[in-house]
Amino acid sequence: MTQEVILFLSITVLLVPILSFLINIFFGDRLGKLSGVVGTSILAFDFLIAATIAFNKLVTYADLHIIQTKFEWFSLGSFKVIVGYGIDNIAAIMLLVVTLISFLVHLFSTIYMDGDRRFPKFYAYLGLFTFSMLGIVIANNFLMMYVFWELVGISSYLLIGFWYEKNSASNAGKKAFITNRIGDLGFFIGIMILFMTYGSFMFEDVFAGIASGQMPFNNPTMLTLAGIGIFMGAMGKSAQFPLHVWLPDAMEGPTPVSALIHAATMVAAGVYLVAKVFVMFTADALSFIAIIGTLTAFISATIAITQVDFKKVLAYSTVSQLGFMIMSLGTGGYTNGFFHLVTHAWFKAALFLAAGSVIHAMHHAMHHMHDHHSDPQDINNMGGLRKTMPWTYRTFLFVTLALAGIPFTSGFLSKDGILAGTLAWANLTGGWHWIVPVMAFSAAGMTAFYMFRLTIVAFHGEPKTEIARHTHENKLPIVIPLVVLSILSIWFFYAPNPIDATGGWFHKMVVQPQSAVPAAYQWDFLLPENGGHDVIQAAGHGETAQAGGHGYLNKLQEESHHFHYIAMALSLLIAGSGILLAFLIYQYKYISADKLEARFKGLHTFSLNKWYFDELYNSTVIAFMMLVSKSLAWFDGTVVDGIVNLSAQVTRFAGYITGIFDNVVIDGFVNLVARVTEYSGGQLRKLQTGNIQSYIVFVLAGILLLLFFFIL
Amino acid sequence: MTDISQFTGELLKSMGLFLPETTLIITFLVAIMADLISGKKHFAGYVVMAGLLVTAFFLMRQTGIESASFAGLLVIDPFGQFIKFIVLITTLLVIMFSFISKELHHSHAKLGEYYILMTGMVIGMFLLASSANLIMIYIAIETMSISSYILAGYTKEVKRSTEASLKYVIFGAVSSGIMLYGMSILFGLTGSLSLLEINTFLMNNSVESITLLLSGIMILAGFGYKISAVPFHFWTPDVYEGSPITITALLSVASKAAGFAVILRFFKVVFSAGLGSENVAWSIIGSIDWHFVIAVLAVLTMTLGNLVALWQTNMKRMLAYSSIAHAGYMLMAVAVLDNTGVAAVLIYFFMYMIMNLGAFLVVQLVADKLDSESIDIFNGLGYRSPLIAAVFTLFLISLTGLPPTAGFIGKLYVFSSVVNAGYLWLAVIGVLNSVISLYYYVRVIRNMYLRDIESTQPKLTFSVSALALVMLLAIPTLILGLYFSPVIEWANASIAIFTGH
Amino acid sequence: MDLITIAFYFFAALTLGFGAVVVLSKNIMHAAFSLLFTFFGVAGLYVLLHADFLAITQIMIYIGGILVLIIFGVMLTTRITGVDVKSGKVGIFQLTGAIVLTLSIALLLLFVYTNTHWYQPESIPMESTAELIGTTLLTRYLLAFEAASILLLVAIVGAAFIARKKH
Amino acid sequence: MNFPILTFITFLPLLGMLIVLLIPSGKDEIGQELSKTIIRWVAAATTFLQLILAFVIYFTYNTGLTGVNDEKSFQFVEKISWINAHLPMIGDIKIEYFLGLDGLSVPMVLLTAIISFLAIFPSFGINKAVKGYFAMYLLLDLGMMGVFTALDFFLFYIFWELMLLPMYFLIGIWGGPRKEYAAIKFFIYTLAGSVFMLLVMIGLYHSTGTFNIVEMMNQGNFLPDSIFGGSGTTVRYIAFMALFIGFAIKVPVFPFHTWLPDAHVEAPTPISVILAGVLLKMGAYGMIRIAFPIFPDAFAYFQTLIAWIGMISIVYGAFCALGQHKVGKRDFKKLIAYSSVSHMGLVILGLASMRPEGVTGAIFQMFNHGIITAMLFMIVGVLYDRSHTRGLDDFGGLAKKMPIYTGIMAVAFFAAIGLPGMSGFISEVLVFLGAFKTFPILTMVSGLSIVLGAGYMLWALQKIFFGAIPVRWQGPWDPTGLKYKTDDVNGLELTALLPLAAIVIFLGVYPGPVLDLMTGSVSQLIELMKPFIH
Amino acid sequence: MEIGLTHYLIVSAILFALGLYGIVSRKHAVMVLMGLELILNAANINFIAFARYGGMNIDGQIAAIFVIILAAAEAAVALAILLNIYQHFKHVNVDEVKEMKE
């Protein structure tokens, strides 16, 4: 299959979902139920195309860095806006991830969303989302990336606020969109800095420009700033530390939406962007990214521990895992980061779909029991679902293991790789950098703890409420996606050796590109090993990259290889103790949760209220914005216009004293000058006393004044 | 002793040049006779109209002549001719207004004296427009004033009218008294009454500037009274409100035109050392900066006229103040004291004549129909008589000076001459004044259209002759706004003020 | 002092004295009559200024014509029966304004008159000016003469019209 | 081009107006109704013809020619000497009837034709003094078209002032409760600005001897000792500032904008559409046609100040719009008015940057803002016709009741936020990219408007379309007796809204057709300004 | 000392001032007319004085003649109007005749 055919296919893979969007928007009402089938089949077809592209790229064109093309979107006379699209290894893999999960979610929603009044609209919005996500995947320039970035934002707004009757849903949608927009603002500023210096949006031109040593405003800190700006876009989308507040609220949307968007694809877009432009980040930018990633991972892990809502726990776990991926990229673990992204996509989607099936079951049970007020998502109402929903339980258990990072699962491979990477990174950089691995390991431990807390409380033990007792397994279209995704979480798909992933095809395919930033501003340990055989895969020029063998790219890889086993032992130990703790507290109740809660009262409420971030933001940033806008609007309404009304009062007061007004119909005259003229006119008219002799006196006075005026 | 035969030859030549005025005098006398013999109300009016038309004919034949006559008392030149045409046209129109004015019908059986006195006034204006001798100016102003005192008080039975004439007579007499005293001082200084000789005297020997300034300002008081410039304007609002509306129209245009003519001639002939009339700028002799004096007068007149007009509730009084403001705009052009200024005054005057007479005519028609002159009677006029309202809007917009109308061209030329002479501060004040003026003109439009929309009151219908007269004035206001080169060419041709060299 | 200066001071005193009476006296009739003497004073001054024809015209027209007119005006417009023949003064504000203004104008004029050197070429006075006036009137000032006649006609027509009772 | 297309497109409305005035208003009920419909259709036909002419111009316009400051490369030129009197005494006068188009004015002519044709449909709702309304409407159209086609300063000034009076009547007679105040405020503000423009025009006339804008542009024509001769003199700076303020009042920019919210709130819907759609562009167009090219040195001197004004307008407008839901009676039109202030501030920033992308972005933003705001106001009009209130609190949950309407509204709202796929995005991006090079910090601060824009637009969207339907509109009959027809958008409104939505989306995806129009002229303008900008 | 031009000018100045004062300070309309006559006489004295001392040209005297004529005409018309006012207001006090004012 020639390159042209691949490029043609990649355009079709992009446009096919738009077809589903258009069909469902315009003919949705007529299709009704059928729109689900149409949507799912379109997505299946799309997945097939994506598979062929991925297969061809990874196999026949493995050595070619990127197959890409560019075309002119519009021209401004002297300057042409060039955009384009291309497939490189990580794009190919992402294509697979996005299309497969989207297809599975489409399948899942045929049942889950069944009976909803705006069923066709839901599929339309899913189609729009997939289209914009694929746009991000195949874009090879900043402008198109930004365009689809915003389109993804708007489709997530539409999907979160799908049940807009509920005010909380549309508020959540609005909150998501605005937080994303703040991130996009940073992203756009980053693009502006780069465009201004390198005059083009194309990645290859920008990277070539950086490689040639040309700095924005010719000082390197501006390149770091541009990097951080671009990263802000990722922070917005992937819900990193300061901008993470919208993801938990996004749970207002239907669960398949959460599964597709807020677990696997959209949130991963941020990580994908960082991976795509990894070569432009300077050392400081990378360490900034690392810190943000670690903080996110740690904070959201602590919050996830105390959540009671089934989906909220998963949401915070997603934020935490994203923190892991960003941290890994920040600490130079490019391949591990991306690897974790892919593996996380599968099992997190599975977790959410499982949650969906549980909630769906709870709904049916509540309908059955005519109890409409209890919350189907609250885990305290569940329990004992192991017996009533066997298949959901089994898949849920397996993917929880993967998430916790237990061997023989893909999660273990990727998380272990990251942890090893952080240890190596900290070792090489030293000093305060050790915080990162400490936080990483404790976050990993907490992940294991809260996942198993969830499984035990929800599935094990006796059903806590009648509703839980009446739940029963769902139909096939819900169970199949669960099974497929859990299978994909087996380690076997990524590397033969369950312990060490470096041998697998994944690590061969996803090779860390050589950073374009001049050596002076890079981490030295990321510099290519001049000793070892030259494996550099120069960014962007498409030279062939020799299959890895066991040569290390740079000192960091060498170091992380040393730390591999230590990291593995440590992570197993911590994960195991996390799981043990969870069983002790919830399964066998040796340590009563309430006493623990009481002892760490402060910490517990602090974590329960999501570290008061929402309140913090509301009281600071949003309150400040509202205050400024209210005062400016008041200022404009009263002061700028008010100069008129204010002075009108003053002059009217003076006016009334000096005599009855002419019935000035347009009283509030428009500006100060107008009022002054009106007022002075009032004074001048009093000269006209009507008495002829006073006239003559004034004339004589006039003559004298003129005379003196000109004599002196 | 001048030799008698040489004198008679010169007299005959002068008489030849005096033809328009002679026809006027004949019409004056014939009108008196006609009024005695005929019974009809307006017979004298028709006679006078005929007389005026004949005068126009003779005036036409005088184009291009530039010479002194009657031993320097009178000067026949294109400038005088232009002003005389304006006076003629205004008087003809005012006579037509009087035919359809209800106000005059109520007052008297026969309007004989009305038309006779109007002819007297026209004679006075003609003389003033072309007199080049101090005493001749005084006599011309007196003729004009006396006839207008009486015309102002013509509707005797109306209290307001008599009060107007009393104020007018006292104010007029005092002003001309002061002017005369100023003239006597100037005569003392230069030893001659003729403007040309005064000029030659001032050119050759230097004179105390204080005395010259004193006499100049006192004379300016007399002229200022005629064009109602501030601070000599006090009579205008009361007299315009009191006297019949046709006379107000006549006063606001014709007597102002004569006033401006004498000011321009006085300053050009007496104070400018310009050799001929070809070079544009007049170099002013003597140490007094007359530019600044007139500029101050212009600013005072414009600003007071516009500011006080904001407060008026009576339509005639508002138009009085608006005419003061327009006098101010024209004074701006006079203050520049050069050829472009003169041209600007002439052009502005022609446009002012059309739009001002149009506005007065509409007010007359509406006031006659609704028996009141307050601004509020115009409420809902837009819907009660669409044509008259539309035409009145056109006149008001033209008075404000908005583009597609003649008023804009007038203002354009005045500002152009002021800017060209470098008086930017004066132009800015003028421009601000026209923004202020927008407010009280648009207030009338607002009453007409924005009030009492689709009003239920009965539709107002006007006689065909009234409508024809209105259109006669409305069409040029619009046409001249777009195609105005004939007026400019005529104005340019009549720049030449005879300075006797 | 020779005769001329005495005569000058006599006539000047006459004019100014009676002029003050005209202006200041309460009774309108006293004012009217004192106006007579003022005009006489002025006529006298004319004679001293070798304007003999002028003096006669002054006496004939001013005293004969205008003064009579004014007296008629006074009598017609004040009710004989009413005691109030006097003419009251105007408000204080206006009065003070008037005094201040007139004094300042007077001072200004005096200042101006005293220190401007006027156009005074040497020339010998002529005896009778009547003949010279006559000829110039009808030669150089012919037009002014005729214009004055028209003015008088207009004045007569106007005054007659205004004064006529409604018929 | 022998067929005088520009004279036709400009004076067609005059013809339409005369026809409208001549149509007798019927005697009885049916007669009046009949005459009203005839008047409406005559007006529609005139503006439709105008639209066809605009498209003919669009298709025959040759994008190669530049035209900003060399007369030969202007297109559709019609030049007849109008007043040409040789006056020896006062200096001769030369005014030409000079019409022509170049890259800067073709998009504006197109926009005017589209907007004035589409604004006819909401005008069918007016039935008070219909003849007067459409006469004034067509006169306004004449004024607007004239401004964009005139190249003689005198002719430009006549058209500029010509549209003042009809606008005064349109707001004053058919407006809302405080219409008189809004109308007189509009009139005084604009006149005050344009009056200084008159002085500068006269000054320019005296220093170059002609009213021809194009000739005024090259310094060669300035007479040596004339008022505005030379470069960098304070008099030139004052003149530039006078012109800039005159045009800034129309744009409107921060300190002079207080008339816009009043005018918009009080004006009837179709007039708000025209006011926002076209009138605001005349200010910006005036700047690029007259103020900048004739006084390039003054522009360079004030460049940072203009950028600052642009930035302040953007942020101030956005904050005021955001503040609407706290202050005042939360009027929907006031919110859109303030958003217009913010969007037009973007245009000013783009022009201030004087870079290819910046200026092209600014002109494209003028075009897009015209279309998008016209759509927004029509949407408000649709709501207002049904419920006679514009307060945002009176609505809710309309998405369920009016699905098609919600669809169109979504396109308009997202375009206003500057969502990719809509034309607003491209012009916003271009302006920011252009402005970033010359004013990096200012552009970053202006970027805030993207976030705030999302804030107030989504808030308004949610207030009207999502959430629960307020009790008041629950039933078919609302208790206050006001029949709240919640039937979806009817045919008439659709014919107005759909074309606009189509333009917005089409230009969003492929902006080529409109962008290519202006690129030639923009580069010429920048070439003209480059030597002065350090 | 010998009577010169300035003496006459002083007399005319004083007379002029008296006339002005007369006009402005008295209520009775006829009084105003008298004041007016004084002003005109002052002007005449000026004219004739300048004629005599300014090179004996006759113009001054002719001007004086015309002033006298015009004064007569003016007085006639003023008195006619005064009568008219008297019929309406039954008095001629100038400061009470102010129906029309702002």
The answer to whether the CB of A21 falls within 8 A of the CB of D421 is no
- The pLDDT tens digits for B390-403 are 999 999 999 999 98
Q: Using CB atoms, which chains have 3+ pairs under 8 A with A?
A: B, C, D, E
Higher pLDDT, B333 or A308: B333
| Domain total in chain B | 1
Its pTM stands at: 0.87
User: Tokens 């003497």 correspond to what residue?
Assistant: C37
Per CATH, the architecture of E5-95 is what? Orthogonal Bundle (1.10)
- Nearest-angstrom CA–CA distance, A385 and D518: 67
Mean per-residue pLDDT, A308-325: 86
Closest residue in B to C160 (Cα–Cα): B113
- The pLDDT tens digits for A230-242 are 998 888 888 887 7
User: What does chain D come to in residues?
Assistant: 534
Q: Chain E contact for B138, CB < 8 A?
A: yes
> Which residues, other chains included, contact C165 with Cβ-Cβ below 8 Å and sequence gap of 6+?
none
> Which residues, other chains included, contact D481 with Cβ-Cβ below 8 Å and sequence gap of 6+?
none
Q: What is the DSSP string of B194-208?
A: BHHHHHHHHHHS---
What's the CA angle centered on B186, arms B181 and B192, to 5 degrees?
Answer: 120
The pLDDT confidence band at residue D487, using thresholds 50, 70 and 90, is low
> Which residues, other chains included, contact A48 with Cβ-Cβ below 8 Å and sequence gap of 6+?
none
Q: Which of A207-221, B67-81, B113-127, B310-324 is the least confident region?
A: A207-221
DSSP state, B133?
B
Cβ atoms within 10 Å, residue D533: 15
- Nearest-angstrom CA–CA distance, A62 and A508: 9
- The pLDDT tens digits for B88-141 are 999 999 999 998 888 777 766 668 889 999 999 999 999 999 999 999 999 999
Checking if the pLDDT of B492 tops 80, the result is: yes
**Identity of the residue numbered D315:** V
State the pLDDT at residue A341.
Answer: 87
Cβ atoms within 10 Å, residue A33: 11
Show residues of chain D in contact with B403, CB under 8 Å: 157-158, 160-162
Mean per-residue pLDDT, D393-404: 72
Mean of the per-residue pLDDT values of chain B: 88
User: Tokens 């297109």 correspond to what residue?
Assistant: D75
The answer to whether the CB of A275 falls within 8 A of the CB of A202 is no
Residue B329 lies in a domain: yes
Q: At what angle do helices A34-58 and A119-138 cross, to 10 degrees?
A: 10
Q: Chain E contact for A684, CB < 8 A?
A: no
Mean per-residue pLDDT, D451-455: 85
State the pLDDT at residue A541.
Answer: 36
Q: What is the DSSP string of D459-519?
A: HHHHHHHSSPPPGGGTSSB-TTS-B-------HHHHHHHHHHHHHHHHHHH--HHHHHHHH
Mean per-residue pLDDT, D335-341: 89
State the pLDDT at residue B108.
Answer: 64
State the pLDDT at residue A638.
Answer: 62
Mean per-residue pLDDT, D33-53: 90
Q: Chain E contact for A686, CB < 8 A?
A: yes
Cβ atoms within 10 Å, residue D50: 26
Interface mutation vs chain E, best among A660, A684, A685, A691, most E CBs within 10 Å = A691
- The pLDDT tens digits for D101-149 are 888 899 999 999 999 999 998 888 887 888 889 999 999 999 999 999 9
- The pLDDT tens digits for A671-695 are 455 666 767 777 777 777 777 777 7
State the pLDDT at residue D115.
Answer: 93
**Identity of the residue numbered B441:** Y
The pLDDT confidence band at residue D13, using thresholds 50, 70 and 90, is very high
State the pLDDT at residue B501.
Answer: 54
User: Tokens 């400081």 correspond to what residue?
Assistant: A284
Checking if the pLDDT of A430 tops 70, the result is: yes
Cβ distance E57 to B192 less than 8 Å, yes or no, reads yes
Closest residue in E to C66 (Cα–Cα): E72
Q: Quote the radius of gyration of chain D (alpha carbons, Å).
A: 23
Mean per-residue pLDDT, D69-82: 82
Q: Which of A132-146, B336-350, B453-467, E32-46 is the least confident region?
A: B453-467
Show residues of chain B in contact with E70, CB under 8 Å: 138-139, 142
Show residues of chain D in contact with B340, CB under 8 Å: 89-91
User: Tokens 């004919």 correspond to what residue?
Assistant: B57
The pLDDT confidence band at residue D486, using thresholds 50, 70 and 90, is low
Show residues of chain B in contact with A696, CB under 8 Å: 170-171, 174
Cβ distance D468 to A193 less than 8 Å, yes or no, reads no
Q: What is the DSSP string of D254-322?
A: GGG-THHHHHHHHS-HHHHHHIIIIIHHHHHHHIIIIIHHH-HHHHHHHHHHHHHHHHHHHHHHHHHHH
Residues in chain C whose beta carbon is closer than 8 A to a beta carbon of chain B? 108-109, 112, 115-119, 121, 135, 139-144, 147-148, 150-151, 153-155, 157-159, 161-162, 166-167
- The pLDDT tens digits for D192-246 are 889 989 999 988 888 888 888 888 887 777 777 777 777 778 888 999 999 999 9
Show residues of chain A in contact with E32, CB under 8 Å: 693
Q: D1-35 in b/e burial notation, b at 16+ Cβ within 10 A? A: eeeebbeebbebbeebbebbeebeeeeeeeeeeeb
The answer to whether the CB of B329 falls within 8 A of the CB of B229 is no
Q: Where are the domains of chain A?
A: 1-140, 142-528+554-591, 616-711
- Residue D358 domain boundaries: 5-532
- Nearest-angstrom CA–CA distance, C107 and C100: 11
Alpha carbon dihedral A597, A599, A602, A606, in 10-degree steps, equals -30
Checking if the pLDDT of B154 tops 70, the result is: yes
> Which residues, other chains included, contact B121 with Cβ-Cβ below 8 Å and sequence gap of 6+?
B91, B143, B144, B147, B148, B151, B250, B254, B255
Nearest Cβ partner for B492 among D84, D89, D198:
D89
State the pLDDT at residue D479.
Answer: 45
DSSP state, D77?
E
DSSP state, A72?
E
Show residues of chain B in contact with C144, CB under 8 Å: 73, 133, 135-136, 139
The pLDDT confidence band at residue D158, using thresholds 50, 70 and 90, is very high
- Residue B298 domain boundaries: 277-501
Cβ distance A192 to D255 less than 8 Å, yes or no, reads no
Phi, psi of C109, rounded to the nearest 5 degrees: -60, -45
Tell me the two tokens of residue D87: 């006056």
Residue B298 lies in a domain: yes
Mean per-residue pLDDT, A601-607: 74
- Reported as half-sphere exposure (CB side, CA atoms, 13 A), residue B381 has a value of 26
Tell me the two tokens of residue E37: 């006559």
Q: Which of A2-11, C116-125, E86-95 is the least confident region?
A: C116-125
The two most distant CA atoms of chain E are separated, in Å, by: 55
Residue B500 lies in a domain: yes
Show residues of chain C in contact with E77, CB under 8 Å: 155, 158-159, 162
> Which residues, other chains included, contact E69 with Cβ-Cβ below 8 Å and sequence gap of 6+?
C61, C148, C151, C152
User: Tokens 């005629």 correspond to what residue?
Assistant: B226
The pLDDT confidence band at residue D17, using thresholds 50, 70 and 90, is very high
User: What does chain A come to in residues?
Assistant: 712
State the pLDDT at residue B345.
Answer: 93
Q: Chain B contact for E57, CB < 8 A?
A: yes
Residue B131 lies in a domain: no
The parts of chain C modelled with pLDDT lower than 50 are 81-87
% chain D with pLDDT above 70 = 92
- Nearest-angstrom CA–CA distance, B351 and B422: 24
- Nearest-angstrom CA–CA distance, B136 and D11: 55
Distances (CA, A) of D368 to C151, D54, D149, D340: 74, 17, 20, 11
Cβ atoms within 10 Å, residue D224: 7
Q: Chain C contact for E33, CB < 8 A?
A: yes
Question: Which three-class secondary structure state does DSSP give residue D80?
Answer: strand
Q: CA nearest A230: which of D432, A222, D252?
A: A222
- Nearest-angstrom CA–CA distance, B80 and B77: 5
Cβ atoms within 10 Å, residue E4: 12
State the pLDDT at residue A672.
Answer: 52
User: Tokens 């691995």 correspond to what residue?
Assistant: A437
Mean per-residue pLDDT, D302-328: 82
State the pLDDT at residue B88.
Answer: 94
Q: Where are the domains of chain E?
A: 5-95
The complex scores an ipTM of 0.83
Touching status, chains A and C (3+ beta-carbon pairs under 8 Å): yes
- Nearest-angstrom CA–CA distance, D269 and D263: 11
- The pLDDT tens digits for A347-385 are 888 888 888 888 888 888 888 777 777 777 777 777 777
User: Tokens 């700033």 correspond to what residue?
Assistant: A225
Cβ atoms within 10 Å, residue B145: 26
% chain A with pLDDT above 90 = 2
Residue B70 lies in a domain: no
